Amino acid sequence: MTKIPVAILGATGAVGQRLVSLLFSHPWFDPVLLCASERSAGRPYAEAVRWVLADPMPEQAASMKVAPCTPDLKVRLVFSALDADVATKAEAEWARAGVLVVSNTRCYRMDKTVPLIIPEVNGDHLQLLKSQDWPGKGGIVTNPNCSTIGMVLALKPLADSFGLDAVHVVTMQAASGAGYPGVPSLDLLDNMVPYISGEEDKLETEPLKILGHFDEAAAEKGIQSARIAISASCNRVPVSDGHSMSVSVRLHKKVTEAEILSVWRQFRCPVSDRQLPSMPAQPLVYLDLPDRPQPRLDRNTGDGMSVVLGRLRPCALFGWKFSLLSHNTIRGAAGGTILVAEQCVQRGFLD
Ligand code: NAP
């Protein structure tokens, strides 16, 4: 297969670096443009970026000149990891130029015509792209918030098998979730910050769209939101990567521990998506150990694309509760976006 030329917007940021790290060895995509702000444009990538990943910077990327974020038609697909402040305008400009934008930013997530995708959960919502009004193959597809992705992957099989009424979630989110340099070290060391701007609202609303119903025959109506009450409390903790969560769920039915474990263990993506290069063999991995999952030990499970679950136990208020861990810059951002793009290619949205 000839590789598809792609651009990365925000290539110098925390998520952008992950995209660079993953895309230069990707079997389908060829990053030919690394874009960032005017501060970085014109400089070699290795000079413009402050590389913070443990993996070495791909050699090919190091010498590439950073480009501005203006549309360039040598690419057919754009990965956006821009600051939300600038993404609304930049992403629309690329879509208007006829390019498919797969975005990490919050700007278009809740727009009625924009798919908000977790490939194992709601790939069918990609059909919404047909109701967008950009020229040519232009379009915008979004990746949910980094905490939403992990939580919804765990909730989807419960909702499908038992019905889901209510969720209470407390997050403990990694420092890298705030980008680079993010939260000042003196605010976070020996500390925890019980506030992340806008995060609780995203965690309470995005799952309703993702788990909502889409009727292709009535696409103009958009997604019919799922009816689930969600209450979220979000905290920033001094962990480098990996968002942890304590989740309680109220299900429609009375179920046993064995039934919940069974639906989690059997959960897989649709058969047609199993060969996507970034699809983990097991989206949900349950650890039957009393003190797991832990960010340092478990965040790279499934190359950072699997959500790790543990400590399923009865909850006096909701019925059941469990712990969850998801890698925020891989599954929750760069890796998740790449998987969405692969699904777009597989389903013909780039043909
Ligand atoms: P970041 O580290 O602050 O990176 C921001 C990127 O945007 C940099 O490449 C920066 O380029 C570029 N940029 C800033 N101002 C610009 C402008 N005026 N014009 C063009 N480019 C500009 O942020 P991040 O954590 O990677 O997050 C990127 C996006 O992904 C955000 O919308 C965030 O909400 C979302 N997200 C982040 C995570 C996470 O875990 N970090 C997870 C999911 C989603 P320069 O280097 O040139 O300034």
Say if 341 falls within a structural domain: yes
DSSP 220-248: GG-EE----EEEEEEEE-S-SS-EEEEEE
Same domain, 100 and 60: yes
| Spatial distance between the Cα atoms of 242 and 298, rounded to a whole number of angstroms | 9
284-287 vs 307-315, strand pairing mode: parallel
Q: What is the pLDDT of residues 313-343, one digit of tens each?
A: 999 999 999 999 999 999 999 999 999 999 9
CB 190 within 8 A of CB 252: no
Tell me the one-letter amino acid at 316.
Answer: A
Examine the pLDDT at 29 and tell me if it is beyond 90.
Answer: yes
- pLDDT, position 220: 78
**pLDDT higher than threshold 80 for residue 67:** yes
Domain that holds residue 178: 146-327
Q: Give yes or no: 125 in active site.
A: no
Higher pLDDT, 216 or 190: 190
- Whole-number percent of the chain with pLDDT over 70: 100
Rg of the chain on CA atoms, in Å: 19
The CATH number for 238's domain is 3.30.360.10
DSSP assigned state of 145: P
Decide if 96 is inside a domain: yes
Sign of CA dihedral 19, 24, 30, 36: positive
Residues 214 and 67 in one domain: no
> Is 85 among the domain residues?
yes
Q: Which residue in 69, 146, 234, 344 is the catalytic one?
A: 146
d(CA 180, ligand 1 centre) in Å = 8
Please, which pLDDT band fits residue 218 given cuts at 50, 70 and 90?
confident
**Which residue lies with its CA nearest to atom 48 of ligand 1?**
37
Whose alpha carbon is nearest atom 39 of ligand 1?
A: 177
What are 229-269's pLDDT values in tens digits?
999 999 999 999 999 999 999 999 999 999 999 999 999 99
Whether omega before 181 lies within 30 degrees of 0, making that bond cis, reads yes
**Confidence at residue 180, expressed as pLDDT on a 0 to 100 scale:** 87
Task: Kindly state if the Cβ of 126 falls inside 6 Å of ligand 1.
Answer: no
- The rounded mean pLDDT for the chain is 96
Into how many domains does the chain fold? 2
Give the model confidence (pLDDT) of 193-216 as tens digits: 999 999 999 999 999 999 999 988
The pLDDT value recorded for residue 227 is: 98
List the one residue out of 318, 320, 316, 298 whose CA is nearest residue 308.
298
> For residue 324, is it left (φ>0), alpha (ψ between -120 and 50) or beta?
beta
Examine residue 41 and state whether it is found in any structural domain, yes or no. yes
Residue nearest to atom 21 of ligand 1 (CA): 37
**Residue 351 falls within a domain, yes or no?**
no
Higher model confidence: residue 71 or residue 180? 71
List the structure tokens of 261. Answer: 């474990």
| Shortest-distance Cα residue to atom 29 of ligand 1 | 81
Q: What is the pLDDT of residue 219?
A: 77
Burial call 50-86: b when 16+ CB within 10 Å, e when fewer: ebeeeeebbeebeebebbebebbeebbbbbbbbeeeb
Identify the bridge partners of residue 231 per DSSP, sorted by sequence position: 168
- State the CB neighbour count (10 A cutoff) for residue 218: 9
Residue 16 lies in a domain: yes
As a whole number of angstroms, the distance between CA 100 and CA 149 comes to 21
CB-based contact 80:342 (threshold 8 Å): no
Q: Are residue 173 and residue 188 in the same domain, yes or no?
A: yes
Is the domain of 134 the same as that of 177? Answer: no
Same domain, 130 and 213: no
Q: Tokens standing for 192?
A: 């925890």
**In the predicted model, is pLDDT for residue 18 greater than 80?**
yes
Residues 305 and 342 in one domain: no
Same domain, yes or no: 69 and 21: yes
Which pLDDT score is estimated for 314? Answer: 98
Q: Is residue 22 part of a domain?
A: yes
Q: Are residues 156 and 108 in the same domain?
A: no
To the query of whether residue 243 is one of the catalytic residues in this protein, the response is yes
Residue holding tokens 């970034």?
Answer: 278
Does a structural domain hold residue 135?
A: yes
pLDDT of residue 44: 98
pLDDT at 1 over 90: no
Amino acid identity of residue 53, one-letter, is L
Q: What is the pLDDT of residues 115-146, one digit of tens each?
A: 999 999 999 999 999 999 999 889 999 999 99
Helix axes 14-23, 335-346, angle to 10 degrees: 50
Residue from 22, 35, 37, 91 whose mutation best tests the ligand 1 pocket (most atoms within 8 A of CB): 37
Contact 86, 128 (CB under 8 A): no
The CA–CA distances, whole Å, from 189 to 183, 185, 342 equal 10, 6, 38
State residue 294 phi and psi, 5-degree precision.
-125, 140
CATH of the domain at 42: 3.40.50.720
DSSP class of residue 193 equals B
Give the separation between CA 24 and CA 19, rounded to whole angstroms. Answer: 8
Q: How much is the pLDDT for 351? A: 86
CA angle 246, 123, 244 (to 5 degrees): 15
- In angstroms, what is the span from residue 10 Cα to ligand 1's centroid? 5
Q: Are residues 236 and 224 in the same domain?
A: yes
Same domain, 74 and 153: no
Structure tokens that stand for 276 in this block: 């996507």
Are residues 132 and 199 located together in one domain of the fold? no
pLDDT band for position 171 (50/70/90)?
Answer: very high
Please tell me whether residues 124 and 206 are part of one structural domain: no
